[in-house]
Each structure stands twice: as C-alpha cells, then as structure tokens.
Chain A
Amino acid sequence: MLADAEHTDPPQELVRLRSELEAATRQLVESYKMASLGRLVTGIAHEISTPVGSILSNNAVLLRSLDTLRTLLAESSGDSPPHLAKAREIVNTLRSLAAVDRLACERIASLVPGLKTFARTEETELRRADLNQILRNTLALAQAQFRSRISVETDLGALPEAECYPQSLHQVFLNLLTNAGEAIEGQGKVTVRTRLEGDHVHVSIADTGSGIKPEHRSRIFSPGFTTKPVGLGAGLGLSICAQIVVDRHGGAIDFETESGVGTTFHIRIPVAHPRSWNV
C-alpha cells in the first residue's frame, strides 16, 4: 500500500507544487511590475504636466484671440490696414500655437504604448515584434525619469521582427534603463544600441555611471540581491530580467563594468523563438 501511494501521490503533489510555484512567480513578476511603475510615476507626471500646461495656456490664448479677431472683423470696413496687420499677426501666432499643441499631444501620446504594458494582462502568446519599437516606447518612459540630467543616445540598427513576449521585454529594458539612470550621479549619458548578429538581436544598454562593485558582480542576477533600500520588489529586478531573457526567450544576458566608467548590459534575443523550432 505504501508502495502504491508512493507511485501515485508524488506526481500529483509535484503538479500541485508546480502550479503553486508558477502562480507565486506570476504574482512576484506582477508586484515587481507595479513597483517599477511606482519608480516612474514622478517623472511621468512631470512629463505629462509640461505639455498639458502648454496646451491649456494655448487654448486660453486661442479663445481670447478668436474674440479679438471677431472684433477686428466687425470693425474693419474693407480697407483698414492697421486692423489687417493686427489680424495677420494674431493668425501667425495662432499657427505657431497649433504646432506646439501638436508636439505637446505627441509627447503625451508617446508615453501611452509604454504605459499599456503595465496593464494586468498575462502574456502567454509569442508575437512577432520590432525590438527597436519596444525600445523606443521604453525610452519614452525612461526619459521622463532622466529628464535633463541624463542624455540618451540611440543607435538602432535595422532589425527583422523577432518572436518574443513584447511586454516582458519592455519590462526588461525598462528595468535596465532605470538601473542605468540610478547608476549615474549628476549628469551622464545612456547609450542604447541594437544590431542583428546572425540569428540573434543584440541589444546593449550602456551607462556612464559608477560601475558595479567587484564584490557584487557575481551576485547581481541572484534573486533577493540588491544594493538599494528595501522596498516592494527590491532585489528582484535583474533576476526577473534574466528569467525573462534566458528562460522565456532562450536568449542571454551579461554585462561589462568598470568602476567609475560605467556599465554595459548585453541582451541577446533569438529572432526565431527556440520553442517554434519544434513546431
């Protein structure tokens, strides 16, 4: 009887444990996502309030100007040059404001694709996606955080669409960019580069920050390791990044670092997902 139990129970127990583990991992990833959103909120609020401020002001100016134009039109008797000159000036100014409004709306809109990936959806389907586009969406969020402190240089090479989990990769890039920003004290630069290398896409994210301390280098991908103050999700960032890149995509992640010079992370994602080779 004992022998029977040993034959039937362990697989069931394993299945149960495995699904519990998967659920716990999903929760962990979810809470990490929310924590990284929390880190971004101040920057995003500022990034939205500047263009909104301009649009609001422009709208008020526009309404006042329309009133002025109406008065000018009512008063003009057909050939009243001073009125015409004034009206022309107003129209020119309003054109410049319309251009500003467009830019302002584009600035706000550029944040939306990045923010969408924070939605509580599980990404179970592989999709073909342009990694450059994912990076551009991520950079829009990261730059809101960097503001003028950190300049961003991009060198995005031509890439084929890769089979991937786009939202997960967005989280990886965002995490690496946030870390890069936090590694830089005062002014600095972050460089993002992509290249197609054989059957892999190679993404590198380099910062001019303080570098990773020698004693930390072997541990940065370990779950729970952090150099930051304890908080929600702290210490999960790079371990989750590694899990997403290596386990979910069959890719690779590594880094080069030099104290006082900076750190470069290299992420390699296969263009064709390993799982689809078998299909």
Chain B
Amino acid sequence: MSNANVRPAVLIVDDEEMVVTSLRALLSLETDYEIHGFTDPEEAVKFLETHLVDVAVADYVMPKLNGIQFLGKSKQLQPEATRVLLTGYADKQSAIRAINELSLFHYLEKPWENAALLLVIQNAIERAQLIRQLRDKIAELDAAHSDLKGVQTRLLRAFM
C-alpha cells in the first residue's frame, strides 16, 4: 500500500463551501497533491472507508460531526494518515484540549496564512509517508524474522 510513486492525497472537510474552494485553489495551484474536498463530514467518512489519504484537514465546528469527532473516525479508519484541525478563533481553547486525546499533528487557526498552511500540510504528508514506510519495513522485518525462525528450526532438526 505504499504511496511512494502516487501523488499525495489531501482530504479537506469544512462545512463552509468557501473555505473548501479557497483551500482547493491554493493547493491545486501551489502543489501537485490530489485534493478531495467535502462540506459534509459524513460523506468524508464514507470516502475514507474506500480511499487512502495522507492528510485529513477538518474544520472544528460542523453539523453532524465536529472536527474532533471526524478526525477521531479518520484515526480509526486510517491511523497512518496525519490529522490536522482547522479552528476559528472562538474554538481555540476546546480545540487545544482535544489535541492530546487525538494525537493531532497540528492545528491551524482561521484566518490561516497560506505559507504556514502549505508547510503544515507538506510536513503532514511526509509524516504519513514515513509512518507507512516504517510499517512496511516492520512487516519486512517480521517476514525476515519468521524466515529466520524457519531456518533455525530446520537447523535444530538437522543437528538433533
């Protein structure tokens, strides 16, 4: 499932269409990321059930699922994907409290600075890809380990 030669995928969820459009425009002009924008967090969850992403960026105040709840679901569905919360001024305190529970990678405040946002997303993608690579390496190690076990068992049998 390594994403090494695929374009990085970024999921954006904000109930404000204008925010999704602005972020999509920014990312599509400045990066080569594949961008998936949603205004309905439940639809975004459905998308995550079938599509791999590197980063999930979510607004905090949304109907049905708030940003914390949404990112909680995204953590269950795709633990390797990095989670970023986008918060308005008034939600900052509650957002910060939730950061520890969710092991959020970062939170961004609205109004955001484009350069800072690009950097956060870029780092978030790197983190997700490193974690995937790490998982692959661990799997390889596990495979190598069980191979060795097999060799060891055969060796033991040969000498006993």
Is there an interface contact between A49 and B29, defined as CB atoms closer than 8 Å?
no
Closest to B115 in A: A60
Interface centre among B30, B61, B111 (most CB of A within 10 A): B111
Are A58 and B25 in touch, CB under 8 angstroms? yes
A51 at the interface (CB under 8 A from B): yes
- Segment with Cβ contacts to A, from B3-11, B16-24, B68-76: B16-24
Answer whether A45 and B25 are a contact pair too, CB < 8 Å, given A53-B110, A57-B114: no
- Cβ–Cβ contact A61 & B90, under 8 A: no
Establish whether residues B29 and A50, one from each chain, have CB atoms under 8 Å apart when the complex forms. Answer: no
What is the predominant secondary structure among interface residues of chain B facing chain A?
helix
State the Cβ distance, A143 to closest chain B Cβ, in Å: 13
Q: How many residues on A have C-beta within 8 angstroms of the other chain's C-beta atoms? A: 31
Residues of B within 8 A of A147 (CB): 61
* Min distance, Cβ A258 to any Cβ of chain B, angstroms: 25
Residues from chain B with a CB closer than 8 A to the CB of A46 are 61, 88-90
How many angstroms between the C-alpha atoms of A187 and B19 in the bound complex? Answer: 23
- Nearest chain B residue, comparing its CB with the CB of A43: B90
Q: A53-B111, A60-B114, A148-B15 are in contact. Are A96 and B90 (CB under 8 A)?
A: no
From A32-40, A97-105, A176-184, A264-272, the one touching the partner chain is: A97-105
A93→B88 contact, CB < 8 A: no
Interface assignment of A15: CB less than 8 Å from any CB of chain B: no
A 55-94 binary contact with B (CB < 8 Å = 1; else 0): 0111011001100100000000000000000000010011
- Is B110 within 8 A of A49, CB to CB? yes
Tell me whether A61 and B26 are in contact in the complex, defined as CB-CB below 8 angstroms, given that A100-B21, A148-B15, A148-B61 are known contacts. yes
Nearest CB of B to A32, in Å: 24
List of A residues within 8 angstroms of B114 by Cβ: 57, 60-61
The docked-state distance in angstroms from the alpha carbon of A54 to that of B16 is 10
Q: Which B positions have Cβ atoms within 8 angstroms of A?
A: 15-16, 18-19, 21-23, 25-26, 28-30, 61-63, 88-90, 110-112, 114, 117
Known: A54-B16, A147-B61. 13 other contacts (CB 8 A): A49-B88, A49-B89, A49-B110, A57-B117, A61-B114, A64-B30, A93-B25, A93-B29, A104-B18, A107-B18, A148-B15, A148-B63, A187-B63
